[in-house]
Structure 1
Amino acid sequence: MASSRSRLPESLTDRVLARLAPLVQAGAGPLRLTLALSGGLDSSVLLHVLADLRRQLPIVLQACHVHHGLSPEADAWRAHCQAVCAALAVPCETHCVQVDRCSKAGLEAAAREARYRVLMSIRNDWLVLAHHADDQAETLLFRLSRGAGVKGAACMRAVDAERRIVRPLLHASRADLEAYARANQIAWVEDESNPDQKFSRNYLRHTILDPLRARFPGVVTNLVRSTSLFAESDELLSELAQMDAGVVGFGQAGSRTRWLSLSPARARNLLRHCLSDATSESYMPEMRHLDEGLRQVATSAATRWTFGSRAVCVYRDQLWFEPAVLAVPGPMVWQGESELPWGEGRILFPDIWHDFAPCRVETRRPAMSWSPGAGRPHRSIKQLCQEAGVPPWWRALLPCVWRHDALLWVGGVLGDEQRAAGEVRPEWLGGWRWFQARSADVGQAPQIKP
C-alpha cells in the first residue's frame, strides 16, 4: 500500500519496527495483530504506523474499539475509529460493554477490566497496546504510592509473552507521538475526562508528573529506566525462586524443613513467586499477611493458610499448595460408571468393581468406624486417616463408598479386601496427594514460547 506519509520523527517508526521484527521472525506465517484503538492520540498514531509497516512486514492488522458508554461522546469516538480504519483499509471490530459504576476498585479500574475482557477474547497472535513512556512513568508513581514491590514497580512490559501483549511505543514519549501526529496530519479524539483530577491517574499526571517534568526535564526517561531495572531485578528474584523451589521440593517429604532452612528473605521471595505463578489472578499478598503465613509454616505442624485463591498447606513436614476453597461434594449414587466426579477431581472405578453397583458415595459420617473382617475390632476412620497421613481439613471431604450398610472404600484410606477383590481399588484423582504431586512443579520456570 503506497503512502505519502512523512517518516518524521524517524525513530518512532523504527522503534515499532524493531519491536515487531523479532515477533515476525519467531512466527510461522504472517503475524496477526489486533490493535486496541480508543481514537486518542496514542492508539491513533500507532494505527497509522502499523498500517504503513504492512509494506515492510508480513502482518495482518485489525483494530478493536471498545465502547464503554461512559462518555456522551462515546458514539462519536466509535464512528471516528471506524472512519479512520476504513480510510486505512484496516478491519475494525467494535464492542459495547457494561461497566460496573459501583465497583469498589473505582470506575477507572472497572472500565479497564471490562475493556481487557473483550480484548483478550479476540483471536490473534498478539494484542497491540499503545502505552507510551509517560504512561509507564505514571504507572510507576501510582504503584509506588500503593507500596509496590519489585514486581509491581517493573510496571508494564514491552513484550508480555504469557498474555501475548506487545507495547511497541513503551519507550516513546507523548511528545514523540504528538510530533508524529502533527507531521502526518493525524486527527484524534480527546477524552473530556482527562483534566478531571478525581481520577487517580489524572491527578498524578497534572499534579505530580507535570511539575516534576518542569523541574527535571529528563524525569520520564529516568522513571522508565527505573522500571527496566526493576524488571531486571524481578527476573533475578524469579530465577532465585526457581532454584529454591527445586531445593525445597514442594509436596515431597521434608519440604517444610527445607523451606525453613532458607533465609527469611528467600523464603518470602519463594512464597511470593509461587503465589504469583500458581494463581491466574493478579494477586499479591500484603507483607503482613505474607509474614503471618511464613510464621504459621514455621511454628505449626499442621496448618492451612490462604492467600487469595490459593492455600499454603503444611502437614507432617510436607509443604504444598491447593485451592483456597475446596468443594464439598454432596451424596450421590454410583451406577457402575467407569468414573464419577467428586470434589476437585474424580473417582476412577476398576472394571472388577462393577458387580458391586449400585453403591452410595458420600462424605464421612460422624464417629464412623470400620472392621477389617468378622471378629476383628472396629477402628475409627479418624485413626485410619491419621495413619494414612490425611490432613485434618481433608477428612470431611473423603469419598466413602457404601453398599447397603457395608463400607467398601474410603478414598486415600482403605479398601475392604474381602469385598473388593484383593488389592484392586478405586482411585481418587483430586485429593490432597494429587495436589501435593502437582505442587512439585510450582515455582518452576513456565515453558512459554515467544
Structure 2
Amino acid sequence: MLYSRLANSLQAYCDSPQHFVLALSGGLDSRVLLRLMGQYLHLNPQHECLAVHVHHGLSQNADVWSQRCLEWARQEGIECCVERVELTLGSRVSVEQQAREQRYQALRKHIRPGGILLTAQHADDQLETVLLALKRGSGPAGLAAMASSTPFADGLHLRPLLSSSRAEIECYGQQHQLEWVEDESNQDTRYDRNFLRHEVTPQLIRRWSGIRKAVARSAELCGEQDALLQELLYEKLQQALGADQSLSVAALGSERVGKQLIRQWLGLFNVLMPSKVQLDQIWQTVVQAKADANPQLCWQQVQVRRFRQRLYLVEQWPDIQDWQQECQLDQPSRLPQNLGSLTVRKTTGGQLRLPKEGEVLSIRFDPEGIEVKPVGRVGKRKLKKLFQEYGVPSWNRRRTPLIYYGDQLAAVAGLFVVEAFSGQDCDLEWHNDASDVQC
C-alpha cells in the first residue's frame, strides 16, 4: 500500500529522468521512505536519488545517527551525504523553528533545476500541524497546513506519505525489520508538537477514528481558498510591487485588502508570517503613520519599514558604526554583514584622486556629525541631509561604506565623491550582495 502511494505520487513528475533529494533524519518515517525509494529506483533505474542527512548537533547521539543514515542509504543503493548546521541556542527564535529553517536551507543546496525534494510527513503530522495553526489563531493560509506538492528552490517539494498514518508507517517498518533512530527529544512534551503527539491526538483519534481524513479535507479546502485569494489579488500585488520588491502604500486600498496584500508580499521573502496582532500593528503603526514619520515593526529577525510611501522588508543587523578597516589600492576589502566587497581601483578617467603620502585609506560606517561638499554641489551639508537628498533609507545610512583618506571623508560608496578628493586617478567599486554600484 505505501509503495503504491509513493509510486503514484511520483508518476506525474517522471516522464523523463528525474533527480530526487530525500530528507533523511534517520527516524521511522524517513527510514521507511528511504526503503520505498530504494524499491522505486530498482524498478525505475533511469532516475537518481540523493539522501541528505542534516546534522544539527543538538543530541549527543548526532554523530551515531549520521553514520547509521550513511549505512542505511548504502544498503538501499542510494547515495547519501551529511550536512552539518549550527543553531544559535538562546536566541529569540525557538530551537524547533531554527532547526527547521537550517534543515531546509541545507536541503535547498542539493535541488537541481526541476528536481524534487522528498520528505516523509504523514497524516498524523498534518493533524498536529493544523492543531498548532489553530493554537496560533492562523487564518486559511496557516490552516492549509502542508500540501502534498509545493514549489521549493528551483524544483518541487513532495510529501508522498501525507495520506498515510503513523500506524501504517510503523507497521511497514516492523514488517520489513527496518532499524531507525529514536530522537530522545521527541519525548519532551515541553515542545508543542510533542505535547500534541503524546497527550492530545491519541485521544482525538480514539474518539473520532476518521479525524485525520476530516482534518486533511479541511486543510485542503483552506488551501484552495487561500490559493483563490492569491489568484484574485495577483494583479493588484504586481501593480503595488516596485523593482526593488518594495510595496506601494498608496496601492494597498482598504484595510482588509491591504492586509492580505501585505501577507502575500511577505510570502515572497520566505519569512515567518507575522501574527494577526503583528499584522494589525503593521497596518496601524507603519502603513497609517504620518507621512514624515519613520515607522517600523520588528518580529523574529526582520522588520517592516516605510520610506517615501513604500514598505520595505529589512533584515535586522547589529550596529556597525564602530567598524573600520584599513585597505590598499586595487585590493578588495570584505565588508561586514553581507555588504559585499569594496575596492579603490587605480584607473584613468576615474572620479577620485590618489591618496597622498601619509593618507591612510580606510573604510568606516559612522556618518554622525560629518559635514562635506560633494563634487558639483554649492556649500557643505551634513551627511544626514545628503542621505535624505539621495534617497537613502534611514536603515541603510549606517550600512553605507564611507571611504576615508586619513581622517577625512573622501567618498560615500554609490553616492558621491567629496570635492576636495576629486580627481581622475581612481574609481570606487562596491560589489554589494544585492547589486554592484560605482561612484
Relative to the length of structure 2, the TM-score reads 0.72
Rounded to whole Å, the distance in 2 between the matches of 1:373 and 1:102 is 51
Deviation at 1:88, TM superposition (A): 4.6
Deviation at 1:85, TM superposition (A): 5.4
Structure 1 portions without partners, runs of 5+? 1-8, 436-450
Give the 3 Å change call, closer, same or farther, for CA 81–332 of structure 1 in structure 2. closer
Q: Does 1:34 align with 2:31?
A: no
**What amino acid is the match of 2:41?**
R
Is the CA contact 2:38–2:76 (under 8 Å) kept in the aligned structure 1? yes
Q: Does 1:357 align with 2:348?
A: no
277, 280, 284: which one aligns with 1:291: 280
Report how many aligned residue pairs link the two structures.
413
Give the 3 Å change call, closer, same or farther, for CA 378–168 of structure 1 in structure 2. closer
Rounded to whole Å, the distance in 2 between the matches of 1:378 and 1:214 is 77
Structure 2 portions without partners, runs of 5+? 356-360
> What is the correspondence of 1:31-430 to structure 2 with a 5 Å cutoff?
31-34=19-22, 36=24, 38=26, 40=28, 42-57=29-44, 58-61=46-49, 63=51, 70=59, 88-90=76-78, 125-163=115-153, 164-177=156-169, 180=172, 185-188=176-179, 191=182, 197=189, 199-240=191-232, 242-250=234-242, 256-259=248-251, 261-279=252-270, 282-295=271-284, 296-301=286-291, 302-305=293-296, 306-325=298-317, 327-328=320-321, 330-332=323-325, 335-337=328-330, 344-345=339-340, 351=347, 352-353=349-350, 356-358=353-355, 361-362=363-364, 363-364=366-367, 366-370=369-373, 377-401=379-403, 409-411=411-413, 414-415=416-417, 420=422
Deviation at 1:15, TM superposition (A): 1.9
4, 29, 34: which one aligns with 1:14: 4
Rounded to whole Å, the distance in 1 between the matches of 2:66 and 2:401 is 55
Is the CA contact 1:251–1:320 (under 8 Å) kept in the aligned structure 2? no
Rounded to whole Å, the distance in 2 between the matches of 1:16 and 1:49 is 7
Structure with larger RCO (C-alpha < 8 A, sep 6+): 1
Deviation at 1:417, TM superposition (A): 6.6
**What amino acid is the match of 2:353?**
F
Q: Secondary structure at the match of 1:291?
A: helix
Rounded to whole Å, the distance in 1 between the matches of 2:202 and 2:109 is 36
Is the CA contact 1:35–1:128 (under 8 Å) kept in the aligned structure 2? yes
Q: Percent identity?
A: 26
Deviation at 1:247, TM superposition (A): 1.8
Relative to the length of structure 1, the TM-score reads 0.70
Q: Which has the larger radius of gyration?
A: 1
The two structures, once aligned, show a CA RMSD in angstroms of 4.7
Q: Secondary structure at the match of 1:161?
A: strand
Per-residue CA deviation, residues 406-438 of structure 1 (Å, 9 max, x unaligned), is 76544565446796469x98576659x979xxx
**What amino acid is the match of 1:287?**
K
